[in-house]
Amino acid sequence: MTKPSRSGSLLSTVKAVLWGFLGVRQRAEYEKDIKRLNPLHLVAVGIVMAFIFVGALIALVNWVAG
């Protein structure tokens, strides 16, 4: 049995992760993403975006406090 091809673009992966961060994803869109996107890519983009978010918060606090 062959695995289904998951050929989602980087932009669609980033959009899915951003919507996931906000928590306002429609169920139909979520299910389309599950079929289309690679789970490893979702995890990798999620981790990178979490680091970017934390870095932006640290920079904002340093700017406001400084």
More confident of the two residues 1 and 7: 7
**Residue-level pLDDT at 6:** 65
Other Cβ atoms closer than 10 A to 36: 16
Return the domain boundaries, the chain: 10-65
What whole-number distance in Å separates Cα of residue 63 and Cα of residue 49? Answer: 21
pLDDT for residue 2 is more than 60 = no
pLDDT 10s digits, 17-40 = 988 888 888 888 888 888 899 989
The token pair at 41 is 């890519």
Residue that wins the pLDDT comparison between 25 and 54: 54
Give the predicted TM-score (pTM) of the model. 0.76
Mean pLDDT, all residues of the chain: 87
